[in-house]
Chain A
Amino acid sequence: MTRLLLVEVRRFFARDIVRLFGLILVGGIVLITIGSFLSSLPMTPAEAAEADEQIRANRTDMEEQILQCRNPPPATEQIEMMEQQGMPPEFIERMRIDAERDRTRRECLDQLQTSVNGRLIFARTYPSNIQLAIFPMALMSLAIGATLIGAEWTTGTVTTQLTWEPRRLRLFSVKALVAALGVLATFVALQALMAVSLLPGTLLRGTFAGIDRWWWEHYLDIVWRGGAVLAIACLLGFGVSGLIRNTVAAVGGLFAYLLIVENILRAVTQDLRQWLITNNLLVAVLPDGSRIIPERSAEEALLLLSAYVFGILVLSGFLFWRRDVAG
């Protein structure tokens, strides 16, 4: 089992697509390094000290700020302002509901991140970059998961592998496991690289101020949801591609389903929305996801998505075990 696992890990990192996506990520990070450096303003030491002071002051009464954010007071002032501007009443009503709704702690932490104009604040830039990277990485994970098993079928190497390891369920599970772990390892590496890439800008023109208990809470929350989304995307690609034994068809079919079919379903009926993959993905990734599906937390969305993917994997694994490997 360990040998099979090690071999599959080697195979994973030897695959062109994994290396290509790795390169793209590294390229993106280099661009971010340069961009973040150039876009931040140089400061005198006195200005920097003042900015640091401001950040620290902002963060003294965090728990209180979070409490306020979670149960916002009636939005009387904003409503008056909008009425004066002559906005339509339905619009104002919608704004009022949104402004006065209860918020999650997650959403509040995201809103209360420190900011000082023109200064590169690691505590703010780093997590928001990671959050931004999750969407393209999810697409990549889907493609990686799909090609990992799809290419084995199109090149016929499944046959070769089965004449070395005929226990099909074992082979299938190890491949799926390695796909998911590989994507997660890449995600961890991305975080490390992103941190390193922001170092020059932060050290020369920015600040590390604001990395405290709340920051860690916010950051780890992004990381675990992001990691779960990436693993789910990867296994979704893997499961579907294993079912139809072809990468291109699997990726094409999945994108067509997610972008076209789900959009139509979304337009046609309200009731289905809470079951759609795309909606649940957004709930899982965005800090204020509950606006997309009311009353659904990121955890619930992830649980539902995991259930979908588990179902597809079980079916895919069953067929991998049962079906003839001929031609």
Chain B
Amino acid sequence: MAVIEVERLRKHYPGFHGGTLALDRVDFEVPEGGVFGFLGPNGAGKTTTIRCLLDLIRPSAGECRVLGTKSRGSISTVIDQIGAIVETPAFFPRFTAQRNLDLLAGLYGMGRREVRGALERVGLAGREKDLVRGYSLGMKQRLGLAAALLKDPKVLILDEPAHGLDPAGITEVRGLLRQLGDEGRTVFLSSHLLAEVQAICDKVAILSRGRCVAQGTVREVLGRGRTTGVLVRVSDIPKAMQILDAGGFDVSEADDAITVTADPARSSEITQALATNELYVQEIRPLQVTLEEVFLELTADDRDEAWLQEPPKSNDD
């Protein structure tokens, strides 16, 4: 069963000049267990989707379900199994971290013991008596994570949980999320940190300008990248480029090396062409496609047109 289902989800924020179309028929499914990465550039609609999932905002069309329950109006029946962070987690600045969590825990009849456990799990033990006002961004983020974990939830919906964390914190959270996923919980993770996502996620969906432009396992999405190529290092770069160009290869120079846009399976043809012309290859290897490259490629539209321009406008509201 899919734990999260989003179907033709549309959200239009009313406003001046026609408002903003934040989500435009988004579809995806998150299977049970493991870590699901939800990617997209700023303003793509990640937070908007998460707000719809949690019934914080009303979709303009389409619907979403969490644990088989429609979010709109019925989320309360499953909310005890959902831990969530929406944007920067908000707590009462003039209460201590402990009191903030106590007040949430009290809603479910939980007590100090559970609160302590959650605080320990995110590395805040010892700082629980401090006012949240005095917390750093990373500490607030950890507190948000503690609150999300407090319910011992089946599903975690986390909006950029690593935002503001230091490198050690990022590594810790990465380990924690992976562990949660391995325990059989479903972690839905929106993030900008593509290397993190690539390292811990089983599946991903990429959102761009309110549309889902790719989804599937990390491997499947990496396969969507067009940038497959081979890196070649030789002593005489200009000559080698000439030879390969003449041989029908698409070449470009990249710091002290040549990038050949071609299937890595054609490596032997490349070495052969160069060797016949008495150029001997110092290094040749397939170029690794990263999620970052695929992401930048798939969301290129977003930057070309939208960067420094108005956000996408609705035209049918």
Contact = CB atoms under 8 A, between A and B. Distances in A.
Interface of A: 3-4, 6-7, 10-11, 14, 16, 151, 155-157, 159-167, 322, 324-327
A267 B180 CA distance: 68
5 contacts: A7-B107, A10-B106, A164-B104, A165-B79, A166-B75
A133 to B, nearest CB: 27
Contacts of A166: 54-55, 75-76, 79
A14 B93 CA distance: 12
Interface string B77-94: 001001010111111111
Contacts of B86: 159, 163
B147 interface: yes
Contact of A159 (B56, B82, B109): B56
B209 to A, nearest CB: 18
A163 B82 contact: yes
Contact of A160 (B57, B58, B82, B89): B89
A326 B99 contact: no
Nearest to A327: B87
Contacts of A4: 107
B13 A157 contact: no
Contacts of A162: 54-56
With a 10 A CB-CB cut-off, give which of A3, A6, A7, A160 has the most chain B CB atoms: A160
Contact of B91 (A160, A163, A326): A160
A3 B108 contact: yes
Contacts of A16: 94
Report the contact-size class of chain B (Cβ under 8 Å from the partner). 20 to 34
B91 A7 contact: no
B249 interface: no
Contacts of B88: 156
Contacts of A6: 106
Given A10-B106, A14-B99, A155-B93, 7 more contacts: A155-B90, A155-B92, A157-B90, A162-B54, A166-B55, A322-B58, A325-B51
Nearest to A322: B58
Contact of B84 (A10, A163, A165): A163
A151 B106 CA distance: 20
Contacts of B87: 159, 327
Nearest to A155: B90
With a 10 A CB-CB cut-off, give which of A14, A151, A156, A164 has the most chain B CB atoms: A164
A89 to B, nearest CB: 63
The list of the 10 closest CB pairs from A to B, nearest first, reads: A156-B90, A324-B57, A7-B106, A325-B56, A163-B84, A166-B76, A157-B90, A166-B75, A167-B76, A326-B57
A3 to B, nearest CB: 6
A206 B79 CA distance: 61
B137 interface: no
A322 B57 CA distance: 9
Contact of B51 (A10, A161, A326): A326
A326 B107 contact: no
Contact of B103 (A7, A151, A324, A325): A7
A49 B172 CA distance: 80
A150 to B, nearest CB: 13
Given A3-B109, A7-B106, A160 B55 contact: no
A6 B103 CA distance: 9
A126 to B, nearest CB: 35
A14 to B, nearest CB: 6
A155 B79 contact: no
A157 B84 contact: no
Nearest to B102: A10
A151 B94 CA distance: 11
A299 B102 CA distance: 42
A3 B93 CA distance: 23
Contacts of B13: 324, 326
A4 B108 CA distance: 9
Contact of B107 (A14, A156, A165): A165
Given A3-B106, A325-B56, A159 B76 contact: no
Nearest to A162: B56
With a 10 A CB-CB cut-off, give which of B51, B56, B108 has the most chain A CB atoms: B56
Contact of A164 (B79, B89, B99): B79
A161 B117 CA distance: 20
Contact of A326 (B56, B79, B108): B56
A6 B109 CA distance: 10
A112 B57 CA distance: 60
Interface string B171-184: 00000000000000
A10 B100 CA distance: 11
